Structure 1
């Protein structure tokens, strides 16, 4: 079990909002959990705004220059929203069990929407690129 499970969703959100979340705890699964918390609590649009602002602040605090990626952040919220809409889970733990591929195959899921490597693209890091293979609304 990953370390971020030691705290509740409320404490997780508070620590991330206050930029006091432990960087070693912020794994890929923790990214997904934060997106899930925000989408289920605030809806997709507000979730994206909070998620992107706070990820930038987190990266700045820990001198992770070049880590924030606008397109990956946008795609993450869109993909998580799509999966949440098709979920029967009441909490993140059940959700991630239901859709474990989000944890294990996230890059492949994103690659079904984008033909280029948005993870390393300078343009994708700086601005939101729309998918070129299929829409998030399909």
Structure 2
């Protein structure tokens, strides 16, 4: 049986990467977000789900996957070690922004820095 210790950040990234590769980033946003939301409800902690965080991570993985030619997750992770940083979203968002009701229920634009694909030439 999987535990929180066995299903950590890297495993979440791998599932997200698989969803992005199979369905594309746009569809993966819905698929991954729905899965996380259902899991949070099942665990009795629906308040832990955050729509903006889920979408941001899928978009980040999708952005990097689009620039990677590898079909191996470990090679992908080695090519993009920034994604292994669980605190990566802090480069783009203030914690108060992500803790707000808008982020919990829907998309909010980064308030500290644009995502790589939002930058000129990115």
TM-score category, normalised to shorter length: 0.7 to 0.9
Report the aligned-residue RMSD: 1.9
Moved over 6 A (4+): none
Among 28, 35, 46, the residue aligned to 1:54: 35
Structure 2 length as normaliser, TM-score?
0.81
1: CA distance, partners of 2:74 / 2:40: 26
Structure 1 length as normaliser, TM-score?
0.73
Aligned pair 1:42/2:23, yes or no? yes
Q: Which residue of 2 aligns with 1:111?
A: 90
Shift of 1:111: 2.7
Shift of 1:125: 1.3
2: CA distance, partners of 1:42 / 1:80: 13
> Which is bigger in relative contact order (C-alpha 8 A, separation at least 6)?
2
Aligned residues: 115
Per mean C-alpha deviation after superposition, the further-off stretch among 31-40 and 93-102 is 93-102
Contact 2:37-2:46 at 8 Å conserved across structures: no
Per-residue CA shift, 1:29-62, capped at 9, x if unaligned? Answer: 1111111000000001111111111111111111
Aligned pair 1:100/2:81, yes or no? yes
